[in-house]
Amino acid sequence: MQEAAVFFLHGLAYAGLLFLVSSGLTLVFGMMNVLNFAHASFYMLGAYFAYSLLLYTGNFWLALVASPLALFVVGALVERFLLRKVHELGHLHELLLTFGLAYIIQEGVKWLWGTNPQAMGMPSYLAEGVNIFGVTYPVYRLFVVGVAVGLGLLMALVLFTTRVGIIVRAAVDDHDMVSALGIRVPLVFMGVFAFGAALSGFAGVIAGPLLTVFPGMAHTILVDAFVVIVVGGMGSLGGAVLASFIIGELQSFGVILFPKFSLALIYMLMALVLVVRPEGLFGERQ
Amino acid sequence: MKAVGSLPRWLWPLVAALILVALPALLPRYQLRLVNEALIFSLYAVSYNLLLGYAGLLSFGHAMFFGVGAYATGLLVGKGAAMPFFGAVALATLVTTLVGFAVGLLLLRVRGTPFALLTLAFNALFYAVAIKWSDLTGGDDGLKLARPAIDLGITQIDTNVHAVFYYITLLAVGAALLYCWYFTRTSMGRTVLLMRENEERLRFVGYNTNISRLILFTLTGGLAGMAGSFYALFFSFVSLEAISIDMTTRVLLMTFIGGTGSFLGPVLGSGVFIYLQDYLSDLTDRWPLIMGLLFILMVLFAPGGLSGIIKNVAGYFVRTDRTKG
């Protein structure tokens, strides 16, 4: 029973990371109809920026704030100067562009930081263990869960109670109409894209101490995040929450229950959802 | 562009074929190997372009077929199975075709962006299986294989001779490419084009586009598997790279750099890619970065690829003959 609790918490921590990455992905897709293959590359860049900042300043909290800010700028630039350029060429080219971008970022990271996994430190008080359910559990994982839940709530608060939130949700539904109402939709796009990049970068920073920093980290979480938005429904934030939770736990318990097939479990889930409900749990039928 | 000078159109393929046949006599061994590799990747890229250029289906999972073809060949000629050369290629192609059919049944339930996403996820699944099932695939160590000799009854042909393997590749890949070209001319191939342009209208006319799409997906899967099979025989080795996302990226870059708008674009693309890779990898370890930048620049500024550029430039030099339309 204690073990089950530990694995549940493990799953929760990974679900938190997944949610932070996939929420931006799904919002951007809902709004701009662009699936950003480079989204997880922002996650990786966030981790590497933080790794370097930590190396030179030794301050974890500085890295936690500065790295997402840098990614916000990167995201805004990518949207403004690359994505918007190919928009008129259609979907296919947008996908190709983000895919190429992911490839370049991956190769660039290998060039600048090397291919070896790098360990990332954390403040000593987060590195300790705490006694819950009668077992000692690392504080850091609880921190990850707490931060993800906190950010998720904050995001929900902004999306559902503020004017900005109303505009974003309306733009997800029908951006032509929002544009007709006199709102500068391209600016909203840029903002959401940059915000998603920052969120992804933030997830990268907090993932660093947990999973180490390595050039394959983008692709690993990208595939999982894709499964999340397929299962949850593309464009749905609520779906991202639920699916992140399911997949985080499935990953965690899969390793102990079916060690041989743990990798295949999430794909089986995805295949099941595709057959039974191709639009995803919370998705809209087209 | 009906005629450059006054030569008939059918002459060009003939000249190209003659040059390809004469190459082993003209090129040193290393250069011949590059051409051989480019030929194999031509088939891979043309099969990919049937999806991307002809049907407008963007797949990020083509390496799963290439990899399955490569691993199947590795297992069929090695590990005690010891199949003959063409038997192994044919069986590997058949296996991949079946895999393509099965994957297509599942993936083609969705369109557009979700399709692109799922192909990537499935490629990741195949890669994961290849790592985990190391009894079969050799895991990180990969599979070694020896090219089987071709038994003609009276005599045996040693396929380890470079020129021999080159001719076999030329014959098999050439036949497969001809078949692809023929396919684009059949009414089935035309249906695929129409599907890209206006699927709704096609359905109104009474075509079952789902079946057309599945047939195309299955066919391209099999062709990619055949390319993978030759890839395995060419290197006498199969590693995880063959089924990895890098192999998908590679075919995407080749196809796009060559140009998705024409049948021969991907052939040009794979030639350029192989030579550029050979040249750049001597200069720097970071050649993939350069390839990636080239790709992004083409997406931004030359979406028609090299063949698009060539068509454009050639357009300026051809005698304008507007009266003929």
pLDDT tens for the 286 residues of chain A, in order: 777 888 888 899 999 999 999 998 988 888 888 889 999 999 999 999 999 999 999 899 999 999 999 999 999 999 999 998 888 888 888 889 999 999 999 999 999 999 999 988 888 888 888 887 777 888 999 999 999 999 999 988 998 899 999 998 888 778 888 888 988 888 998 999 999 999 999 999 999 999 999 998 998 899 899 899 989 988 888 899 999 999 999 988 888 888 777 777 888 888 888 778 878 888 775 5
Q: For residues A47 and A41, what is the distance between their CA atoms, to the nearest angstrom? A: 10
Give the per-residue pLDDT at B325: 45
Helix (H) or strand (E) holding B151: strand B150-151
CB contact under 8 A, A91 and B299: no
Hey, what are B115's tokens? 């399709």
Q: Hey, which residues does A213 pair with through a beta bridge?
A: A118
| Structural domain of B106 | 11-324
pLDDT along chain B (325 residues), means of 10: 60 85 86 93 95 91 96 86 86 96 88 85 90 84 84 79 89 93 88 84 83 92 96 92 92 92 92 93 88 91 88 80 54
Tell me if B2 is assigned to some domain: no
Tell me if B4 is assigned to some domain: no
CB contact under 8 A, B110 and A108: no
Tell me if B231 is assigned to some domain: yes
Q: For residues B308 and A24, what is the distance between their CA atoms, to the nearest angstrom? A: 36
What is the maximal distance between C-alpha atoms in chain B? Answer: 67
Q: Which domains does chain A have, with CATH numbers?
A: 2-276 (1.10.3470)
Chain A nearest-CA distance from B133, in A, is 9
Hey, what are A232's tokens? 């949850």
Q: For residues A200 and A41, what is the distance between their CA atoms, to the nearest angstrom? A: 9
Mutation target to probe the A interface, by most A beta carbons within 10 A, among B299, B300, B301 is B299
- In the block, tokens 């020129």 appear at B163
CB contact under 8 A, B117 and A103: no
- The average confidence (pLDDT) of chain B is 87
Tell me if B5 is assigned to some domain: no
Q: Residues A111, B317: contact at Cβ < 8 Å? A: no
Count of all residues that appear for chain A in the document:
286
Residues of A in contact with B286 (CB under 8 A): 107, 110-111
Instruction: Compute the count of residue pairs across chains A and B with CB atoms less than 8 Å apart.
Output: 95
CB contact under 8 A, B113 and A260: no
Q: Report the residue from A95, A222, A226 with minimal CB separation from B58.
A: A95
Tell me if B125 is assigned to some domain: yes
Tell me if B209 is assigned to some domain: yes
Domains in chain B, number: 1
Chain B nearest-CA distance from A95, in A, is 8
Mutation target to probe the B interface, by most B beta carbons within 10 A, among A81, A101, A107 is A107
Q: Hey, which residues does B238 pair with through a beta bridge?
A: B143
Give the per-residue pLDDT at B7: 67
CB contact under 8 A, B292 and A100: yes
Q: Report the residue from A91, A263, A278 with minimal CB separation from B112.
A: A91
Q: For residues B98 and A1, what is the distance between their CA atoms, to the nearest angstrom? A: 45
Of A166, A273, A168, which is closest to residue A229 (Cα–Cα)?
A273
Of B30, B11, B6, B29, which is closest to residue B275 (Cα–Cα)?
B30
Give the per-residue pLDDT at B275: 93
Q: Report the residue from A92, A107, A267 with minimal CB separation from B289.
A: A107
Which 3 state secondary structure label does DSSP give A277?
A: coil
Give the per-residue pLDDT at B5: 54
Tell me if B3 is assigned to some domain: no
Residues of A in contact with B132 (CB under 8 A): 260, 263
* Cα A28 versus chain centre, distance: 12
Q: Give me the CATH number covering residue B26.
A: 1.10.3470
Q: Residues B121, A270: contact at Cβ < 8 Å? A: yes
Give the per-residue pLDDT at B318: 74
Hey, what are B314's tokens? 């050639």
- ipTM comes to 0.85
